[in-house]
Amino acid sequence: MENSIFFDVHCHALTLSHPNFLPFVETLRTRRSEIIYSQLRSPNFLARALFSNRGGGLRNMLAVMDNSPGVIFELMEDDLKGLYAKEGDPPPLAQDGALHMSGRRYGAVALCPLIMDFDDPGASGADVYYSRAPEASIGAQMRDILIGVRQYRRSRPDGMLRIFPFLGVNTRNHSPESLGLFLARHLGGWRPGWERASSVFGAMGGYSSNQNSVPCDTGSECLFAGIKVYPPLGFDPWPEDEAEREKVEILFGFCEERGIPIVTHCDDHGFRVVSMGDALTFTAPSRYRAVLELFPKLKIDFAHFGRQYTTKLRLRAPHDWFDEIVELIDAYPNVYADIAFNGVEPEYYERLVEALAALPDPAREKVEARLLFGSDFVVNLLKIRSYADYYRIFDASPLDAALRSRLCSENPARFLFEGGRVADPDRSV
């Protein structure tokens, strides 16, 4: 189908102004033994990426992050079109106004840039000269991303991309009252359906930074497609503290009632500002068991399919989090997993094929219907040359063509819009 949509449900349009770096640096400074341990036990993750080839991966990532979100969106599209191709590279993936993958022609590429709530009201720089606590305002980042979508819509009205941002939420940065107001303001107008989301995107050329909505065919609608939570920044999905528990119940209840999709970080590395122990506890899929018992219809994507890089000291199964996610997928109808970042390694897909083949038929069928393609761009540039290369590795993977189509088109459409296959009826939306 020429008008089918290719979905990247997990990417970022991060700039250097978005993260709050001081808490991260403080983590490196005050928890040095944890950092050394994690790198020794996972030498093929960040350490190699940061220091091999004279830091080429880091420099490549910074070459993207030095741009505004709007330019980053244009850069992603141009990469698929072969604008940055080097001598000897294969033909562009996007030609004649369509993306060509696995013998299929996709009329558009849908991106879900995930906003992360880097705010840290408790951060203190008391032992530095400028002792004011730093700010990485979630509001400023939201406006930055939405202005980036506006820039893309204005500069490329006939472009290939459809952009559906996810709103970053960290309940520990809110009171119950402020959280309720925040959700109502930015997602209170959320409704399921591709038509609504496509209409909102089509109207984004008229976005003004003092608006929470834009006029479009379906009326004034909210501008976000879902919610992103990130446990290593201190988000605990099921806190012991009653006051904190109340806030996550507000969040999950709000999302379950409306069918709003959530993406939660789920590997054992990343941008961390809490202790390693807390990060692993908050991130573990098992932390969501109590959540899903109370909110069984919650729609949630466990990012990175629970990838664990850190070698265990105890003798445990090599895919603990993977197995936990499979169990949750089997038990609950709206639990998904994405493969963002994992696909930087061609070998990952070989292991994934083996893991899927080892599942009993009912469980495998459910997992294959809930798997989602994601890139984790721009973060994946620490381990891969380009956005286009990530697509090519996926296209050449041993996953059969029908399953690849489900991961990148059919399953994401259901996760995002509660529909089946989504077609783009009008390239000018």
Instruction: Write out the chain's pLDDT in tens, 429 residues.
Output: 346 999 999 999 999 888 876 665 666 565 555 454 444 444 444 555 555 566 678 889 999 999 999 999 999 999 999 999 999 999 999 999 999 998 899 999 999 999 999 887 655 555 777 777 666 689 989 999 999 999 999 999 999 999 999 999 999 999 999 999 999 999 998 999 999 899 999 999 999 887 677 876 666 578 999 999 999 999 999 999 999 999 999 999 999 999 999 999 999 987 777 888 899 999 999 999 999 999 999 999 999 999 998 755 444 445 589 999 999 999 999 999 999 999 999 999 999 999 999 999 999 999 999 999 999 999 999 999 999 999 999 999 999 999 999 999 999 999 999 844 455 544 433
Question: Are the CB atoms for 236 and 290 separated by under 8 Å?
Answer: no
Instruction: Please report the pLDDT score of residue 275 as a whole number.
Output: 85
Instruction: Please report the pLDDT score of residue 220 as a whole number.
Output: 58
Query: Rounded to the nearest 10 degrees, how much is the dihedral formed by the CA atoms of 144, 93, 44, 32?
Result: 0
Q: What is the H or E stretch that residue 110 is in?
A: strand 104-113
Q: Which two tokens stand for residue 373?
A: 């393609």
The residues, any chain, with a CB within 8 Å of residue 410's CB and separated by 6 or more, are 420, 421
Instruction: Please report the pLDDT score of residue 315 as a whole number.
Output: 40
Instruction: Please report the pLDDT score of residue 51 as a whole number.
Output: 57
Task: Give the pTM.
Answer: 0.90
Instruction: Please report the pLDDT score of residue 311 as a whole number.
Output: 58
Question: Are the CB atoms for 327 and 286 separated by under 8 Å?
Answer: no
Instruction: Please report the pLDDT score of residue 218 as a whole number.
Output: 61
Q: Which domains does the chain have, with CATH numbers?
A: 4-417 (3.20.20.140)
Q: Please state the three-class secondary structure of 33-94 as a single string.
A: HHHHHHHHHCCCCHHHHHHHHHHHHHHHHHHHHCCCHHHHHHHHHHHHCCCCCCCCCCCCCE
Instruction: Please report the pLDDT score of residue 142 as a whole number.
Output: 94
Rounded (5°) CA angle 293-297-302: 85
Instruction: Please report the pLDDT score of residue 2 as a whole number.
Output: 44
Cα–Cα dist 14/266, whole Å? 19
Peptide bond into 378 cis (omega under 30): yes
Instruction: Please report the pLDDT score of residue 270 as a whole number.
Output: 77
Cα–chain center distance at 27: 23
Nearest to 334 by CA among 297, 388, 291: 297
Nearest to 283 by CA among 300, 297, 293, 269: 269
Instruction: Please report the pLDDT score of residue 386 as a whole number.
Output: 97
Question: Are the CB atoms for 47 and 382 separated by under 8 Å?
Answer: no
Cα–Cα dist 210/389, whole Å? 38
